[in-house]
Amino acid sequence: MTASDQIGSVTPVRRRPYGLLLVATPVLLVAWLVIWPIISAVIQTVWTTTPQGQGAVSLDTYSFFFSDGYSLSNLSMTLWTTGVCAVLLLVVCLPIALYLRFSNTRVAVYVQGLAIFPMFVPSIILSFAFIRVLGPNGTVDLLLNSVGLPHIRSPYLTPWGPVIGLVWDNIPLTVLILLSGLGSVSNQAVEAARDVGAGTLALLWHIILPRISNSILVAISFAVLGIFSAFTLPYILGPAAPEMMGPFMQRTFRELLEPKTAITQAVVTFGFCIVFGLFYVRSVAKNRAA
Amino acid sequence: MKRRDFMLATGFAAGALMLPRMSFGAEGVIDVYFTSDQNVIDFWTNTVKPAFEAANSGITLNLVDGGDGAGVSAIADRALAALASGSDPQADLFEGFDSRVTVDGIAKGLYVDFEKAGLSNYSKINPLAFDIPTNLPYRGSQVLLAYDTTKLDPANVPKTWADLVAWIKANPGQFIYNRPNKGGSGGNFVRRAIFEANGNDPTKFSVDNYTQESGDAMLNPAWDILKDLAPSLFDGGAYTSGNTQSIQLLSQSAVTMIPAWSDQTLSAIAQGALPETTGLVQLQDLGLPGGFTKLAVLSNGANKDAALKLADFLLTEEIQSAVLTELGGYPGVSWDHVSAELRERFADIIPTTIPTFPGGDWEKAVNDGWYRAVAPNVDPAS
C-alpha cells in the first residue's frame, strides 16, 4: 500500500476497506463452506445427463418428492413437530424467562442453572434416559403404579416422543435469548405502569411483550432451524413412519444409496428453513437500524 | 535465490516439520478402521493383532474405532479423493464395511478386487457369504429370539414361524422388532418373513437376480404378513430404532420377546444388561437369517500388500476358530475349515446352515419397501 493510503485512512470515509477486510475471512468461509454447497446441491438436483450423454435441466426429483405421498407425509410430520415444538417452547420458556428476569431470590439462581442444564446433555444420552424415564415400565410408570395409578401410554415411539425430547433440548437457548430480550425492559417502565394501576396481564401485554417481540422471533427462528433438521431425537424416540426429514434424508442417502434423492430432500428442507432464517436476518437488520 | 522462492522453500520446510507424524500412512503400520462395536475391536486387540504381528515381524496394526458406518464411509470418501489426487489415503483396511457405500468407489477402482488378489484362503469362504468381489466376508452371526422366561415358560416357546405368529397374536403388545435398516435383529426378522412368503427357500434370492417385477412379486406377500402382525405388536405396531433399544425394552420387561443377535444377547446377559432369566430360541423350520461382516481393502493404501496379507490371515483356521470361541460369532469360512473339535462342540448350538439374504438391490428394496408398505399402516395416534 502507498503512503497516501495510510494517511488517508485517518478519515472515516477511507477507513471502510479495513472493516471489510476484517469480515473478509468469515464471509469467505461462509461462501466456501455454506453458500457454495447450497448452490452445488441445487445444481446437482436439477442437472441430469440424458441417455445420449448430454446435460439437461430436469425437475424430476422434485416432482417425485412432491407427488410421493410418503415423502410428503414425512414433510408434514416435520412441519407438525416443528410447529408444536415452537409453541410448547414459548409456553414453557416465557414464564421461566419472566421469572428469572423479575426475581432476585436465591432460588432464581438454581432455576437458571436448571434451565441451562439441558445444553450440556448430549442428545443421544437424553434419548436413552428418556426411554428409561418416560418409556414403557420406566421410572414414571413405576412411580404411578406404586401409588395405584394405571400405566401411562408412553410417548416413546410416537410423534410425541421427539416433541418432548426436542422441547427439553431447546429450553436453554430459548430461555437465554428471551432473557437477553427482557434485559431491555426497564424496571422503571414496569413500575410506572404499575403506578397507574396496570394489572399483571396488562403489564405483560402492553409493556413487556412489545419490547421483546424481536427476541421471541429470534428465539423461535433459532429453535425452528434446529428442530427442522433434528436427527438423533426423532430417530431414536420417534415412530418408524412417518419420519422427520433428518432421519429420512440420512436413510435415503445411506441405506437406499440415492444421493440425488437425498439432496433433493435436503434442498426442500433448506427451502423451509430459509424462511425462518430470513425472519432472523430481518429482525437483526431492524435492530441495527434502530 | 529470489526472495519469493526463498520464502516459499522455507515455508514448505517449516510446514512439513509442523505436520504431525501420524498424517502419513506409516510404512509397515496397517491402519484398520472399524464400524463394528467395541467387542469386535477388543477381539482384534486381544487376538488378531498379537497373532498377526507375531507371524509377520515388522508389520504392526493400528486399530481405529471409526465410530459407525457413516464415520468410516467419510474416511472412504476421503480415500477416493486421495485416489484422484494420487496422495496417501492414510488408511488401509475397513472392517464391517460395504464398499458399495462409496459412490463411484468401485467403478474408480478404489477397492481391491479379492477375486483377483490371490488370497490363499479365499476359496475357503462360505459360498453363502459371497457378495461382491470388493467385499471380503470374514465372520458371521445369526439372529434368534430372546425372551423373558419369567413370563413365557421355555416349554411353550414357539419353535416355528407359524407358532411364533400364533403366539404374537395371542399375546398382543408383547413382541417388538426394530426397523429393518436400523439393525440386523429386526432386519433379519423381516427377512425371515420374506422367506416365509416365498416357500422358505433362501436360494430364490441372490445378489444379482433383483428386478422390479420379481421384487414386487416376492416382497409384497411378505409385507402383507408383517402388516397382519402389526396390530399385535408392542403399542399396536411400534418399531424400535435399533438392536439396543429392543434389548432395552426386553430388559425393562415392557415386552416378552424380541429378535436379537446371538452374540449381542450373550454379552448383554454376561454384562447384566439382560437378566439371567433371558431365554434364547431359534426357529426350527427355518432359522432367522444371519449375516456376514465384510471388510474392504483400499487399492491405494500405503500398505496394501500387508493389508491383503492380514485379510488372508483372518481366514486362517486359527482366527476363524477364535471368532467362534472368543467373539461368539460364526466363522466366515465354510464349516469344513474350522477345527474338527470345534465343529463338534458347536454342532448342537449352531445350525450348519445360516439362511442369508443378499445385500445390494434386494436390501435396498427391503429398506424402502418396509417403510412404505408396513410402517405407515400404523396410526401414530392409535
Q: What is the pLDDT of residues A114-167, one digit of tens each?
A: 999 999 999 889 998 998 898 888 888 889 888 888 877 888 989 999 999 999
pLDDT at position B7: 62
Same domain for B251 and B337, yes or no, is no
The yes-or-no verdict on residue B176 having pLDDT over 80 is yes
Same domain for B135 and B117, yes or no, is yes
* A67, amino acid identity: S
Same domain for B173 and B254, yes or no, is yes
Chain B residues in contact with A242 by the CB 8 A cut-off are 376, 380
Residue B363 domain-assigned? Answer: yes
Same domain for B305 and B318, yes or no, is yes
* Domain termination residue (choose one: A32, A57, A82): A57
A240/B378 touch (CB, cutoff 8 Å), yes or no: yes
Q: What is the pLDDT of residues B4-37, one digit of tens each?
A: 666 666 666 555 555 444 445 567 899 999 988 7
Same domain for A126 and A262, yes or no, is yes
* B12, amino acid identity: F
Residue B352 domain-assigned? Answer: no
Q: Which residues of B touch A (CB under 8 A)?
A: 69-70, 73, 100-101, 103, 179, 181, 234-235, 238-242, 245, 248-249, 252-254, 363-364, 367-368, 371-372, 375-376, 378, 380-381
Residue B1 domain-assigned? Answer: no
Instruction: Give the mean pLDDT of chain A.
Output: 87
Chain A residues in contact with B103 by the CB 8 A cut-off are 257, 259
Instruction: Give the mean pLDDT of chain B.
Output: 85
Query: Residue A227: which pLDDT band, with cuts at 50, 70 and 90?
Result: very high
Residues B323-351 have a mean pLDDT of: 77
What ipTM goes with this model? 0.75
pLDDT at position A249: 93
Residues B169-194 have a mean pLDDT of: 92
Query: Residue B92: which pLDDT band, with cuts at 50, 70 and 90?
Result: very high
Same domain for B162 and B297, yes or no, is no
The yes-or-no verdict on residue B256 having pLDDT over 90 is yes
Given CB atoms, is A236 within the 8 Å cutoff of chain B? yes
Q: Which helix (H) or strand (E) element contains residue B63?
A: strand B60-65
Q: In which region does residue B360 sit, left (phi positive, over 0), alpha (psi from -120 to 50) or beta (all else)? A: left
Residue B255 domain-assigned? Answer: yes
Query: Residue B182: which pLDDT band, with cuts at 50, 70 and 90?
Result: confident
pLDDT at position B380: 39
Residue B308 domain-assigned? Answer: yes
Tell me how close the Cα of B231 comes to any Cα of chain A, in angstroms: 14
Same domain for A123 and A205, yes or no, is yes
A136/B254 touch (CB, cutoff 8 Å), yes or no: yes
Given CB atoms, is A196 within the 8 Å cutoff of chain B? no
Same domain for A20 and A76, yes or no, is no
B249/A70 touch (CB, cutoff 8 Å), yes or no: no
Read off the CATH number of the domain in which A110 is found: 1.10.3720.10
* Domain termination residue (choose one: A39, A57, A75): A57
User: Which of 58-97 (A) contact B at CB < 8 A?
Assistant: 70, 73
B235/A257 touch (CB, cutoff 8 Å), yes or no: no
Query: Residue A15: which pLDDT band, with cuts at 50, 70 and 90?
Result: low
pLDDT at position A3: 45
Residue B213 domain-assigned? Answer: yes
Q: How far is CA A58 from CA A250, A259, B283, in A?
A: 23, 16, 50
Domain count, chain B: 2
pLDDT at position B24: 53
Residue B272 domain-assigned? Answer: yes
- Reduced to 3 states (helix: H, G, I; strand: E, B; else coil), residue B295 is strand
Query: Residue B382: which pLDDT band, with cuts at 50, 70 and 90?
Result: very low
Q: Least CB-CB distance to B249: which of A136, A238, A242?
A: A136
Q: How far is CA A151 from CA A136, B254, B380, in A?
A: 8, 11, 19
Same domain for B273 and B222, yes or no, is yes
pLDDT at position B352: 57
Same domain for A10 and A36, yes or no, is yes
Q: Return the minimum-mean-pLDDT range out of A14-28, A142-156, B121-135.
A: A14-28
Same domain for A107 and A131, yes or no, is yes
Given CB atoms, is A254 within the 8 Å cutoff of chain B? yes
Read off the CATH number of the domain in which B256 is found: 3.40.190.10
Residue of B245, B253, B258 for testing the chain A interface, max A β-carbons within 10 Å: B245
Map grid coordinates 425430547 to a residue: A165
Residue of A232, A248, A255 for testing the chain B interface, max B β-carbons within 10 Å: A255
Residues A92-114 have a mean pLDDT of: 91
Same domain for A16 and A75, yes or no, is no
Given CB atoms, is A241 within the 8 Å cutoff of chain B? yes
B371/A70 touch (CB, cutoff 8 Å), yes or no: yes
Same domain for B248 and B146, yes or no, is yes
Same domain for B156 and B75, yes or no, is no
pLDDT at position B316: 92
User: Which of 24-43 (A) contact B at CB < 8 A?
Assistant: none
What residues make up the domain containing A21?
1-57
Same domain for B170 and B246, yes or no, is yes
| Dihedral sign (CA B202, B204, B209, B213) | negative
Same domain for B122 and B264, yes or no, is no
Q: Least CB-CB distance to B380: which of A154, A156, A159?
A: A159
Map grid coordinates 416376492 to a residue: B218
Domain count, chain A: 2
Same domain for B36 and B84, yes or no, is yes
Residues A229-233 have a mean pLDDT of: 91
Same domain for B317 and B251, yes or no, is no
| Dihedral sign (CA A159, A165, A167, A169) | negative
Look at B109 and A8; give whichever has higher pLDDT.
Answer: B109
pLDDT at position B343: 80
Are the C-beta atoms of residues A238 and A159 closer than 8 Å to each other? yes
CB contacts < 8 Å between A and B, how many? Answer: 80
Chain B residues in contact with A238 by the CB 8 A cut-off are 241
| Closest-approach residue (CA) in chain A for B255 | A136
What residues make up the domain containing B266?
141-290+359-377
Same domain for A14 and A96, yes or no, is no
Tell me how close the Cα of B252 comes to any Cα of chain A, in angstroms: 6
- Tell me how far apart the alpha carbons of residues A285 and A283 are, in angstroms, rounded to a whole number: 5
pLDDT at position A152: 79
Q: What is the pLDDT of residues A206-220, one digit of tens each?
A: 889 988 988 898 899
Q: What is the pLDDT of residues B339-352, one digit of tens each?
A: 888 887 766 555 55
Q: What is the pLDDT of residues B211-233, one digit of tens each?
A: 999 899 999 999 999 999 999 99
Query: Residue B174: which pLDDT band, with cuts at 50, 70 and 90?
Result: very high
Tell me how close the Cα of B372 comes to any Cα of chain A, in angstroms: 7
Same domain for A235 and A272, yes or no, is yes
Residue of B68, B251, B366, B371 for testing the chain A interface, max A β-carbons within 10 Å: B371
Are the C-beta atoms of residues A273 and A225 closer than 8 Å to each other? yes
Same domain for A78 and A177, yes or no, is yes
Tell me how close the Cα of A74 comes to any Cα of chain B, in angstroms: 10
What residues contact residue B99 under an 8 Å CB cut-off, 6+ apart? Answer: B76, B105, B106, B110, B111, B132, B134, B135, B294, B296
Tell me how close the Cα of A288 comes to any Cα of chain B, in angstroms: 41
A257/B100 touch (CB, cutoff 8 Å), yes or no: yes
Residue of B77, B175, B235 for testing the chain A interface, max A β-carbons within 10 Å: B235
Residues B177-202 have a mean pLDDT of: 90
Same domain for A30 and A143, yes or no, is no
Residue B128 domain-assigned? Answer: yes
- Tell me how far apart the alpha carbons of residues B229 and B223 are, in angstroms, rounded to a whole number: 10
Look at B21 and A105; give whichever has higher pLDDT.
Answer: A105
- Up-side HSE of residue A206: CA atoms within 13 Å toward CB? 13
